[in-house]
Structure 1
Amino acid sequence: MAAELTAHHRRLARQKREAITSAATELFLERGYDGTSLARIAEAAEVSKSTLFKQFPTKAALFEAIVTESWQRDADDTAERPPAGDPHSGLTTIGRRYADLIGQPRMAGLFRIVIAELPRFPELGRMQFQLGKLPYFASVQHYLESEHEAGHAHVPDAESAANQFLGMIANYVLWPRMLLTDWAPAPSDVDRAVDEAVRTMLARYAPAPPP
């Protein structure tokens, strides 16, 4: 019984946390970061102020959690890992997962918040970069480095290659959404964009043929 109650409480806490971060994201978009109070977020999430303050004592802590959780959405043990030894399959796995991640309305919303509030709250940009984008790019860089070291690809500058690959995908999936409210490419078009990025990477970073 005690274990069931503990599991129940954890589930309730998780549901409340999701309600808080979802309500906060919507309010940040509607009213701006500065124009949104924790009290208003608690009301929109239908939780008590004490519940919100217990999980997020400051607005910055709440925004930090939103950024981190958004970028780490597929980082659990059930996420498909890029297969080693097969750059085509590995890059395709990474590319489609990245396209799915940045294609979410929540992710576009985060970028809009940061861009709108950056002049007054530069720390929001640092959060987005250091807690979200940088760790994600580093994981792709490490994959490319391991393929290079194993001789499956020739990637002397994995940092640059990671930026090239993810940049090709973001340029089609994310950035048009920043300016075009009706930008919603079909899944087949997104897959095609990823496939083209993979082909470009394979052509550029194919291992040198044996002498």
Structure 2
Amino acid sequence: MSGDVTTYHQRVAREKRALIVTAATALFLEQGYDRTSLARIAESSGVSRATLFKQFPSKAALFDAIVTESWSSADEADPPPAGDIVEGLGTLGRRYAELLGRPRMTDLFRIVIAELPRFPELAHAQFAHGKMPYFEALRSYLVAEHEQGTVRIDDVDLAATQFLGMISNYVFWPTLLVPGWEVSAERAAEVVDEAVRTTAARYATTGGRPGPAAGGS
């Protein structure tokens, strides 16, 4: 019985946390980070101030949670095993495109860009808690492939940046700048496949099997 009660309370806490994060994101977009108080967020999310402060003792902690949850992957799995650069990059590229395609990701960047002059720490939080962990996962994967001999990469940081940039420059950044820009799931898959082909053609050794990405058209 106690286990059921604990599970119930955990589920309620998760639900309230999700309500808080959703309300905070909307208010930050509408009113700005500086003009949005935790009390207003509690009111908008329908939770008590005590509940909100228990979960998030400060507005900065709440923003960090928004960043972390925006970058978290639904199928958060270990990096693919080294040995097949096309398959591995395809897996990581599809995860990245899926993350960038989430509406909350666009909201997050709009908040950061709007508040950057007054709150540069928001950009730091976005980079440190969001983009950087994903970048490091890709970097570690490329290092593993290099050590196995499937690729030869002298500058892993540059290679990782190039790969992610080929995806984000089509799938994500135009959504912030071009009215009506939309990328279908099929088109996003094509973009990832081309990024994989380009990276494999540049860095794969004979055993790295450069060529069409798995699942490509």
TM-score (norm 1): 0.94
1:187 partner letter: A
**What 5-or-longer segments of structure 2 have no aligned partner?**
208-217
User: Match for residue 171 of structure 2?
Assistant: 173
- Report the alpha carbon displacement of residue 83 of structure 1 after superposing the two structures with TM: 3.7
- Is the contact between residue 82 and residue 148 of structure 2 (CA under 8 Å) also seen in structure 1? no
- Report the alpha carbon displacement of residue 81 of structure 1 after superposing the two structures with TM: 4.2
User: Match for residue 182 of structure 1?
Assistant: 180
Note the aligned Cα RMSD (angstroms).
1.4
User: Match for residue 108 of structure 2?
Assistant: 110
2:134 partner letter: Y
The number of residue pairs the alignment matches comes to: 207
TM-score (norm 2): 0.91
- Is the contact between residue 39 and residue 49 of structure 1 (CA under 8 Å) also seen in structure 2? yes
User: Match for residue 26 of structure 2?
Assistant: 26
User: Match for residue 82 of structure 1?
Assistant: 80
User: Match for residue 201 of structure 2?
Assistant: 203
- Report the alpha carbon displacement of residue 80 of structure 1 after superposing the two structures with TM: 6.8
- Are residues 1:61 and 2:77 paired? no
- Is the contact between residue 148 and residue 156 of structure 1 (CA under 8 Å) also seen in structure 2? no
1:7 partner letter: T
Cα distance per residue 1:140-194 (max 9 Å; x no partner): 0000000000011112211110000001100011100111242211111111111
User: Match for residue 11 of structure 1?
Assistant: 11
2:61 partner letter: A
- Report the alpha carbon displacement of residue 195 of structure 1 after superposing the two structures with TM: 0.5
79-88 vs 148-157, greater mean Cα deviation? 79-88
The 3-state SS of whatever aligns with 2:88 is helix
Partners in 2 of 1:193 and 1:83 — Cα distance?
Answer: 22
Partners in 2 of 1:80 and 1:190 — Cα distance?
Answer: 22
- Are residues 1:72 and 2:72 paired? yes
4-13 vs 27-36, greater mean Cα deviation? 27-36
Partners in 2 of 1:198 and 1:167 — Cα distance?
Answer: 12
User: Match for residue 2 of structure 1?
Assistant: 2
Question: Could you say which structure has the greater relative contact order, defined with CA pairs below 8 angstroms and 6 or more residues apart?
Answer: 2
1:114 partner letter: V
Partners in 1 of 2:31 and 2:166 — Cα distance?
Answer: 32
The 3-state SS of whatever aligns with 2:150 is coil
1:107 partner letter: M
- Is the contact between residue 153 and residue 206 of structure 1 (CA under 8 Å) also seen in structure 2? yes
- Report the alpha carbon displacement of residue 208 of structure 1 after superposing the two structures with TM: 5.4
**What 5-or-longer segments of structure 1 have no aligned partner?**
none
- Report the alpha carbon displacement of residue 82 of structure 1 after superposing the two structures with TM: 2.1
User: Match for residue 132 of structure 1?
Assistant: 130
Cα distance per residue 1:89-115 (max 9 Å; x no partner): 100100011000011110111011000
